[in-house]
Amino acid sequence: MSVEKASLTSLRCLLFFYFGGAGCLLPFLSLHAEATGLGLKNARLISFIAPLFATLGPVTVGPLVDYLCGKKRTDKSPKNERSTQIRTLLSLTILLSAVFYCLLLSVPTVQRLTPRQPSVSFVCNEYGASLVQEKCNELGCYRFPDQKTGLIRLKACRFDCDFPSHYGYIENPGVEPKTEPTSTDRIPSSRIKSEPEFDPDDFFGTEKYKEDDYSDFGSGEEEEEEVDFNWNRRNRKRDIREDNGLALEEPPHICYNNLLQSQKVEDRNLRMCFVYTASGGVFKVNVTLKPAHEDDQHCSFPLGGDFSCRIPENMEKPEESCKVVCDIEDAYVPGSVLVQSQCRDVNGDVELAFWLYLTFRSLGDLFFVVSVSLAIGSTLVAARERIGREFVLPSVAYCAFSLLISYLHSNSLSPLKLGNIPHFFLGIVGFGLLSMFALFVLIFASDLPIGPPDWWWNTRASNVYHKKEFMAVLVVLALLGMLWGPLYFHVPWHITERKDVELYVGAAAAVAAFLSLPFVWKANTIVNYCGFSNVFIAAFTFYILRYTG
């Protein structure tokens, strides 16, 4: 074996171990951040900040290496001494990247229990309305960033007097009025006051409404059985007595200002009223939540829209202690106004875990990017036109180890029992071990062709130095990197609901590395035949197709 082939063999071993370690870790970093319990929002924030911080590495170390090599060259120092500096710097960055990535295992795990849906009710009287929600243990009331507007679905509205007058809801909001086994609900004779009759004007008030204030779908259904009282739309009166002289129970009566932005100016802020009848179903109301008021057990969110609910005078208890109470259907479904206020129980210090993870991840990315830049630069100096072939073996290593780690961490396929070890333990430890193997090759392989470029690479007579498109190429490469980053780190979150998501992520990384092998092998030929411009155009085309797909 020639001296040149022997030196390139040691370089290939270095690249094989280091890029194999990258295959153990890099595809799963996003999943590891979320598995630590940081939450999707914090994990995404880390995935934005850490790579941005890592760009400082090549920007700083690259000019530093050129300066040191140029200084030694002017001092007429031997080339071996300049190679030692690059080898030392590469060894240091590989070691530090392995250390900081392995420190991710020391970040305390935050356990996020399944969100609990606290009970919530709509409470209303003559002076306004609010949503009263059960408090989440020792946690305070949820603070919306601003006045929250959304839709709620009210059902089972009734009068309730069994709670303190200063508050609108307790865990047992009261017993619903008893009903007789007839088609019409009636008020028991014991609850009727001594007055001989009830004036309908007292119930409907003297407020002037438009002709269509009262909605025909106030009962919640478009087609329902007729109720045993008559409705007169013109004079807003009802027959409140039947032939036998017994009075009907007055249904809850809810009025509010319409908050929907209608195209018609006259329909905006329209006063709307609903009468929830005995056969009522569900009706939708658009509400605006104001800042919460809380006590030891409940959170009360006052509602905008000038709600008012008429409380009848013929109640068993004082009118001041009675309110209209409605249940809320599907209060925490996606898109609901209350979906963010669910009780989320967290075991662990989220803030401490976030800052530790951000620190270790940012420093690990920084030193990893610097080491990869130095390794690629050294390979370019050693292999020249055949640089593409030197990255075939590292690509195979990346493909193989990403598949292996995803298989070992798969719940259904893995032969190992990984229930009691930290998340992605094998991937992080695998990166550390393979980085140490690469470090041993770097230290003990005396024939390793790592060193500064020849003197003519940095002269003003060099063609590379004077090419005007050099800066344009750098800009294009930066854009390609910006497009690659979100795909690489954010795609795993789109398939988190699948079973064995680790297997999908590892397989995707392996397939991408495998498909790149023929292009890497013939990289110099492809560039010479197609040109840089066409290669970049093809790359951007594939990224556009990927983002639109």
pLDDT at 266 over 50: yes
For residue 271, give the nearest of 214, 316, 223 by alpha carbon.
214
Which of the listed residues 322, 344, 366 is the one where a domain comes to its end?
344
101 domain-assigned: yes
In the predicted model, is pLDDT for residue 208 greater than 50? no
Average pLDDT in the 74-86 region?
66
Spatial neighbors of 282 by CB under 8 A, at least 6 apart, are 153, 154, 155, 220, 329
Average pLDDT over residues 488-502: 65
Rounded to an integer, what distance in angstroms lies between the CA atom of residue 314 and that of residue 195?
Answer: 9
Structure-model confidence comparison of residues 81 and 173, the more confident one: 81
Distance CA 101, CA 50 (A): 12
pLDDT at 279 over 90: no
Average model confidence (pLDDT) for the chain?
Answer: 73
Of 308, 328, 344, the position where a domain reaches its end is 344
Q: What are phi and psi of 250, to 5 degrees?
A: -75, 125
pLDDT for the residue 247: 47
Domain extent for 106: 3-112+349-453+463-548
Instruction: Report how many domains make up the chain.
Output: 2
Residue 232, pLDDT score: 36
Predicted confidence at residue 196, as pLDDT, reads 38
Whether 467 and 382 map to the same domain: the answer is yes
Report the amino acid identity of residue 425: F
pLDDT tens-digit map of 509-521: 888 888 888 888 8
Backbone Cα Rg of the chain = 36
The reply to whether 287 and 427 lie within a common domain is no
Tokens of 273: 């009223």
pLDDT on residue 332:
82
Return d(Cα 358, Cα 317) in angstroms, integer. Answer: 59
The last residue of a domain, from among 321, 344, 367:
344
Q: Tell me, yes or no, whether 268 and 142 share the same domain.
A: yes
Backbone angles phi, psi at 124, to 5 degrees: -150, 145
Q: Which residue has the higher pLDDT, 16 or 274?
A: 16
Distance between CA atoms of residues 502 and 439, nearest Å: 28
Q: Are residues 354 and 327 in the same domain?
A: no
Q: What is the pLDDT of residues 93-133, one digit of tens each?
A: 999 999 999 999 999 888 776 667 788 888 888 888 888 88
At residue 198 the predicted structure's pLDDT band, cuts being 50, 70 and 90, is very low
Q: Distance between CA atoms of 147 and 144, rounded to whole angstroms?
A: 7
Number of continuous H segments (helices) and E segments (strands) in the chain: 16, 14
d(CA 89, CA 371): 8
* Residue indicated by tokens 């003297």: 206
Residues 387 and 521: beta-carbon distance below 8 Å: no
- Render 48-88 in DSSP notation, one character per residue: HHHHHHHTHHHHHHHHHHHHHHHHHHHTT--HHHHHHHHHH
Q: Name the strand (E) or helix (H) holding 302.
A: strand 298-302
**Residues paired with 317 in a beta bridge:** none
pLDDT in tens, 466-478: 566 677 777 777 7
- Does some domain include residue 458? no
Residues 6+ apart with CB under 8 A from 195: 314
Asked if residue 33 and residue 105 are part of one domain, the reply reads yes
User: Integer distance in angstroms from the first to the last C-alpha of the chain?
Assistant: 49
Q: Does residue 369 fall inside a structural domain? A: yes
Predicted confidence (pLDDT) per residue in 414-448, tens digit: 777 766 677 788 889 999 999 999 999 988 887 77
Q: What is the mean pLDDT of residues 50-60?
A: 87
Q: Residue 101 phi/psi, 5° resolution?
A: -65, -40
Residue 507 pLDDT > 50: yes
CA 394 – CA 411 distance, rounded (Å): 28
Q: Are residues 52 and 66 in the same domain?
A: yes
pLDDT digits (tens, 9 = 90+) for 332-373: 887 778 877 777 767 778 888 999 999 999 999 999 999 998
Residues 19 and 166 reside in one and the same domain: no
Residues 401 and 512 occupy one common structural domain: yes
Q: By three-state DSSP, how is residue 513 classified? A: helix
**Structure-token pair, residue 118:** 């606290």
With bands split at pLDDT 50, 70 and 90, how would you rate the model's confidence at 242?
very low
What pLDDT is recorded for position 139?
62
User: Where does the pLDDT of residue 135 fall: very low under 50, low under 70, confident under 90, or very high at 90 and above?
Assistant: confident
- Could you tell me what percent of the chain has a pLDDT over 90? 11
Rounded (10°) CA dihedral 201, 206, 212, 216: -40
pLDDT score for 20: 92
Assess if residue 108 is contained within a domain.
Answer: yes
Q: Are residues 298 and 371 in the same domain?
A: no
Return phi, psi of residue 130, to 5°: -155, 160
**Residue 548 one-letter amino acid:** T
Rounded Cα–Cα distance for residues 120 and 129 (Å)? 13
Residue 136 lies in a domain: yes
C-alpha dihedral, 188 to 190 to 196 to 198, nearest 10°: -50
Q: Is residue 71 part of a domain?
A: yes
* Beta-carbon contacts of residue 376 (< 8 Å; ≥ 6 apart): none
Amino acid 170: pLDDT: 36
**Which DSSP letter does residue 354 get?**
H
331 and 426 together in one domain: no
Q: Quote the pLDDT of residue 194.
A: 37
Domain check: are 365 and 435 in the same one?
yes
- Say which range, 72-76, 316-320, 539-543, has the weakest mean pLDDT: 72-76
The more confident residue out of 295 and 33 is 33
Residues 220 and 310 in one domain: yes
- Pair 170, 326: CB distance under 8 Å: no
SS3 content of the chain, % helix, strand, coil (to 5): 50, 15, 35
The tens digit of pLDDT for each residue in 308-323 reads 888 887 766 665 678 8
**323 within a domain of the structure (yes/no):** yes
- Is 220 buried (19+), middle (13-18) or exposed (0-12) by CB count in 10 A? buried
Domain containing 406 — which CATH number?
Answer: 1.20.1250
What's the per-residue H, E or C state across 38-57?
Answer: CCHHHHHHHHHHHHHHHCHH
Q: What is the pLDDT of residue 453?
A: 64
Domain assignment present for 65: yes
